Structure formats: structure tokens, C-alpha cells
Structure 1
Amino acid sequence: MQPEESPWGKEVADDDQSVPGAGGRTPTRRRADLSARQFPLGDWGEPAERLEELYRWSEERAVEAIDWYRRDRVWKRRWARLLRFSAAVSGVGGVTAPLVSLTGELPHAMEWGYTGLALTAAALLADRAFGLTSGWMRDVSTAQALQRRLEAFQFDWASECVREVLGPTEGTAGEAAERCLGVLRRFCEDVSDMVRTETSEWMLEFRAGMSQLPTQAPGSWGGRHEGGSGAQVRVLPPPGTRPTMPRQRPPEGPLR
């Protein structure tokens, strides 16, 4: 049941539709959203077969999540690398263009330098706005965490099976079934928590990116304070209005 080779040591191709541990199960569609699986309802007249069915259901649920994150990282990785490579090339061109213009061979090299720097900023901004690099990293870390949890779950389930077959049995059959159900429940809860944590990180990153958009404060037309100086900068009144002078105290009479 364990994969012979870890999938994290090699790159995943676009047409790689197989997932280690999936067996003969049908993989999910590429970049399809994770959907809820209907809990299998069956007859508990045969507890062993029923528990085995629940084990297969839990395992397929985790494999589907791993498959989704592995496929979601492919296009993010491709676009993130493309944007960063473009930013590096245009940045080098933007820095070297002014040096070339000093030689006098290319009189318009300075303008191309500004264009290169603008393209560099645009590529980095697009990567940050769409969350390509950060999303790629999240997909990799979440898929690896799910894979580790799946392997631990498979060994825990094997231990329960060996205990019932080889061991002396501890307690009644109902207690053994309750232990197996506890293993299944903890595993499903851990998988749901990992997916929810990744989704929460994506939501926080999206909100942070939206909050960084340039906005104008409602009181920006009034007096403003310069940072660190503590002095208030006054805004001059519009032309055509009389400046208001502060009222002065009348002079006091001579002392007698």
C-alpha cells in the first residue's frame, strides 16, 4: 500500500495523472476544486468489512487532496518561474542600458533602460498580485504534509490490524471497533485541518494584497504632519481670499 518511491524527489509533468497510493482509483480532474465526499452508509452486520470500507474512503479522500495540490502547483510553478526570469532579464537590461548610452553608440539606450526597469517592476508585481510563488510554496508544503499524514495513518491502521490478528485481543470487539473508528476520525479531521489552514493562508494573503492598493485618506487636503519632525505643514488658502490675521491684545497703559 505504501509507494515504492516518494513523489517529491522528481518534478510532476503535466500529463502525470497518477498518484502514489491511489492504486486503480480514478484520479481527479486537473485543477478541479476539492469536493465533499458522501459518507458511505452500509450494514454494520459485518464490522470488519464495514471498517475496511471506511478506511478506503478515508484514504481516497486524502489521496484526492494530495493529487489536487500536486497538480495545482504545476501551472503556478511555470508562471512564477517565467515572471521571475523575465524580471531578471529586463532588470539586467535596464541597468546596462544607461552604461551603453554613455558610449554614444546607442543614443536611445537610456529610454530602453527605463522600459526594462518598468518591465521588471511589472513582472514582480504580477507575481505578487496573483500569488504565484507563494501559492506554489503553499501547494508543495501542504501536499508533503498530507503525504506524511497519510503514511502515518496507513501504519496506524496496519498496527490495529496486526493487534487484532496476532495479539491477544484487548477488550471486546466493540472496543476494538471503537479504536479503529477513532483512528479514522482523527485522520479525517487532520486532513480537513490541513486543507483549511492552507485556504486561510490564501485568504489572508489575498486580503493583504488588496489592502496595499493605493488609497487616498479623506483628510489629505488638510494640514499634515511630517514624520519625525513634529511640525505641521500648513496649506496656503486659495487665491482671491483675504488672509485672516490673528487678533492682537491692545497695548496696556503706562504704569503710574
Structure 2
Amino acid sequence: MQPEGADGADRLAPLYARAEAEALRTAEWYLAARVGKRRAARLLRCGALLGAAGGAVLPLLGIDGRWGCLSLLAAAACVACDRYLGLTSGWMRDVATAQAVRRRLETLRYDWAAESIRDGGEEEAAERRLGVLRRFSEDVTELVRVETADWMREFGPCGTTVADPARTPAAPPGPPPRRPRFPGEPQPGMRPTMPRQRPPETA
């Protein structure tokens, strides 16, 4: 005996399958994108370690100090390339986003299974399942948006930071203007006025 609302679940099954497939593709895309970044980041970090080691060891071996300076310069260049291209931070963001999407997908599966055994009418069950799918799609979209915003802040034009309106805090209100303690006292920021004098009377 099927629970009430099973027909509605059958009609929503294609929508659930599409949402699940899109989430899996998103997670796989991020995992595939991090492979090349991780390899390049490891090469640059190895180059930085070798350059730093060469800069410290070459002078001890009696080799011309210019080679040690060049080795240190190469190490600094490797570190700068990694930071400028965002390789290490990029593949770490990709892994974190893929894991977050997969965790949200597991939550969707449990929520969907829980909704399938709840009592209620067919229309009510369909509305609950639609709400579960809508929240899941919004959460996945938000995860991708946050990762994209982080990428934009890291690769802003000319190294500047791209502000995210959703994360930019509002400026705190300034202090209220000080009220004068005595009548006739000038307001802050205003020039004091001199009292007008009567001209001397002529005899």
C-alpha cells in the first residue's frame, strides 16, 4: 500500500532527478578544475623551496654570490606567480565548493525520503516536495555565487578588490550634532557672528 501523495511524488520525480544531476555535474566540474591548479601550485611551491635552498646553500659552497641572489629571486618569482594566478587558493576553493555541494545533495536526499513517508494530502505533499527542491536549488546557486565572488575579489582589475554588495557593511552613522548649551552660542562648524553696535549719537 503506497502512502497518500505517491502520485504527486511520481510527477515530481523528473524534477528531482534533474536537480540531482545538475548538482553532481557542478561538484564534478569543481573537482576537475582543481586538478590542473593543484599541479601547477605544487610545481611553483617546489620551485620556491629549491630557490630558497639554493640561495642559502650556494654561498656556503663558495660559489659566486650572484647565483645565490638569482636563486632567491627565482624563489620569490615562484611565490609571486602562485599568489597572482591564485593557484593554491583556487584549487582549495574548488575542493571546498565541491564538498559543500555534495553535502547539500545528501541533505536533499534525506529530506526527500522524509517527505515521502509523511502523512498528508496529495496537493500538500507536492507543495512540500517543491519547497525542498526550491531550497536545494537556491542553496547550490548561493554556493556557486560565493565562490565566484571570491574569485572576482582575487582577480579584480589591476589587483584591486571587487566589492560584493551583499557583503559590504553599511557605514556606521556619525555622532549627532552637538547642541549649544547657552542661547546665542554658535552651532559647530558655523562662524560666530558679532553683535551689531549702534553708531555713536551726534550732539
TM-score by length of 1: 0.58
Counterpart-to-counterpart distance in 1, 2:46 and 2:117: 53
**Contact kept in structure 1, 2:20 and 2:105, CA below 8 Å:** yes
Is residue 86 of structure 2 the alignment partner of residue 131 of structure 1?
yes
Q: Which amino acid aligns with 1:193?
A: E
Is residue 66 of structure 2 the alignment partner of residue 111 of structure 1?
yes
Is residue 158 of structure 2 the alignment partner of residue 190 of structure 1?
no
**Residue in 2 aligned with 1:122?**
77
How much has 1:48 moved relative to structure 2? Answer: 3.1
Is residue 180 of structure 2 the alignment partner of residue 204 of structure 1?
no
Change (3 A) 1:209 1:139: farther
Aligned-pair Cα RMSD in Å? 1.6
Q: Which runs of 5+ in 2 are unaligned?
A: 1-6, 162-203
Out of 125, 133, 141, which is 2:96 matched to? 141
**Contact kept in structure 2, 1:129 and 1:209, CA below 8 Å:** no
Out of 2, 5, 17, which is 1:56 matched to? 17
Q: Runs in 1 of length 4+ with deviation above 4 angstroms?
A: none
Q: Which amino acid aligns with 1:201?
A: D
Change (3 A) 1:89 1:209: farther
TM-score by length of 2: 0.73
3-state SS, counterpart of residue 155 of structure 2: helix
Structure having the larger proportion of residues in helix: 2
Is residue 111 of structure 2 the alignment partner of residue 150 of structure 1?
no
Q: Which amino acid aligns with 2:124?
A: E
**Contact kept in structure 1, 2:37 and 2:87, CA below 8 Å:** yes
Out of 129, 133, 136, which is 1:180 matched to? 129
Deviations 1:126-160 (A, max 9, x none): 10111000001101111111111110111110111
Q: Quote the sequence identity (%).
A: 50
Counterpart-to-counterpart distance in 2, 1:141 and 1:209: 27
Counterpart-to-counterpart distance in 2, 1:137 and 1:74: 10
Out of 5, 15, 29, which is 1:68 matched to? 29
Is residue 47 of structure 2 the alignment partner of residue 92 of structure 1?
no
Out of 96, 116, 130, which is 1:161 matched to? 116
Counterpart-to-counterpart distance in 2, 1:130 and 1:179: 45
Deviations 1:193-244 (A, max 9, x none): 00000000010111287139xxxxxxxxxxxxxxxxxxxxxxxxxxxxxxxx
Counterpart-to-counterpart distance in 2, 1:123 and 1:113: 15
